[in-house]
Each structure stands twice: as C-alpha cells, then as structure tokens.
Amino acid sequence: MPTKPKVLIAVLSFNEAVNIEFTLKDLSNHNFGYDIVVIDDGSNDKTAAIAKLHGIPVVSHCINSGNYSNAAMTYFLYAYRNGYDVLCQFDGDGQHSAAQLKSIVNPILAGSSDVVIGSRFIEKKGFQSFFLRRVGIAMFSKIDSNITGTNLTDVTSGFRSYSRKVIHFFGHTYKQELYDNTSQFLLITHYIGGKISEVPIEMRPRQGGASLFDIWKSITFPLKGLVIVLGCILQKEKLRGKSSLL
C-alpha cells in the first residue's frame, strides 16, 4: 500500500505577532492533514511564543538574518532532514489563504510540477500590490518566462510549493548561498531539470504591521535581481551537471 505523502507548510515570519494568530487559525480551519512549521527569522516580539501556544513547531533563527532567503534555506533544510515530499511556503502576514493550499500542493503530488507558484495576476483578483512593485514583478516574470520557456506572471509570489526533488537539491546538494530573490530558485530549478507552473490564487492585504518591502528595497531589488539572474545564467552548465546527483 503506498504511503501517504508528507506535506509541510512552512510559515515565514518576522515580527508578525499581530498577524501570526490569524494565519495559524486560517491554517487550522483548513487542515488538509499537512504538517505546519513556523520559521521565525529572529523576531523580537511574541511571534514564536504565539505559534508555540497554538502547538505549532517553531524553528527560530538565533538572530535576524534580514533576508527572506535565509528563512528559505532553513525550511529546505528542515524539510529535507524530516523527509517531506512536498514543501509549501506560506507567509505569516496573513496575505495568503489556507483554503487555496490544495491548488498549490496538488500539482506537485500529481507529479506534474516541481515548483508551483501561486499567481495573483492570472485571474487578477484580490490584493495586487503597489504599482512600482507590479512593474518589477512583471519585468522579472518576463525574464524568467523567457529563460524557462514557461509563461510566468508572479515570480516573486511567496505562496509556492516545491517537490521532493527541489527539497533534496536545496536542502542537501546545493552548497552555495541563496539570495533574496525568488527568480534564483526558479532558474536553478529550471537548470536542474525541474518543471515550473503557476496556479491562480487570491491574495489579501496584510492583516497588520509593516511590510519589509520599503522604498530602498524597491530601488535595489530590481538591480540585485538582474545580477542574480546573470549569476544563474553563468552557472547553468554547472547546475545542469548537478542535476544528475538528484
């Protein structure tokens, strides 16, 4: 009898004490039998304590790393060490809806994708983010679409899931640094032979607190992103060589 696949929902949080309760309640109200872990990037508020009160395991960084990619490194490592088949990233700010988890996870379980991105721009419903950010997202979506040969619309979406192959690669094989740009994950996945797809989702505005995306990051993010894309392109042969290790 085939065993039930293990699915992990990694909730990313940093100083989300005002939102984490809402997020965890949403996840418990839409419990599909998935495991949940909160990745706390060294919060100095009660984020971790609130999550523990809900009986959710918390993996806390001893200091704030200041970037999203460090939290990603942590959840890949956690998922790899605990033998998960599917890993789903879910933001702790209440923007994502747990009711849509199945649509993110199912393509991975069906084996049709290695990375599934929840895109808010397919059906253009719900929170669409501010104009400058939409321009940046559109630019990187176009670049990534051209490279991967897949039509992508929301490459920076934090609502996404990864297959066992991708978990194994980022949690074990890939020894280099991951940067604060989601294009890097997609391009590396593409170069190691992974399949990428998008599904429509609807996002909510933040339930409270302030976004980490400020004006300075709005300026530097596209520039850093272009360098990261270039770095991925330059490394593609090396990455293709590593795909045989999977």
Partner 1 sequence: MNISLKIAFILAALLVIYVVVKSIKKHSLHPSYAVLWIAVSLFLLSLAFLETMYAYIAKTVFGLYGGDHLIYISLISFLLIYCFYLTTRICQMADRISKLISFAAVTDSEVAELKKRSQSE
Chain mean position to CA 89: 4
SS3 state of residue 72? helix
The residues pairing with 37 across neighbouring beta strands, listed in sequence order, are: 10
> Among 49, 53, 57, 205, which residue sits at the site for partner 1 (rule: CB under 8 A)?
57
Task: Sheet containing 35-40: give its strands across.
Answer: 58-60, 35-40, 7-13, 86-91, 160-162, 115-119, 196-200
Residue owning tokens 């004490």: 17
> Among 7, 51, 73, 188, which residue sits at the site for partner 1 (rule: CB under 8 A)?
73
Residue owning tokens 């170069």: 191
| Closer residue to partner 1, CB minimum distance, 121 or 170 | 170
* Minimum distance from residue 102 beta carbon to partner 1 (Å): 27
Is residue 74 near partner 1 by the rule CB under 8 A?
yes
* Minimum distance from residue 40 beta carbon to partner 1 (Å): 8
* Minimum distance from residue 71 beta carbon to partner 1 (Å): 9
> Among 81, 125, 238, 240, which residue sits at the site for partner 1 (rule: CB under 8 A)?
81
Letters for 163-182 (x = contact with partner 1 by CB under 8 A, - = none) are: -------------xx-----
Q: What is the amino acid identity at position 122?
A: I
Torsion sign (Cα): 115, 116, 118, 122: positive
Binding site for partner 1 (CB under 8 A): 37, 39, 57-63, 65, 67, 69-70, 73-74, 77-78, 81, 176-177
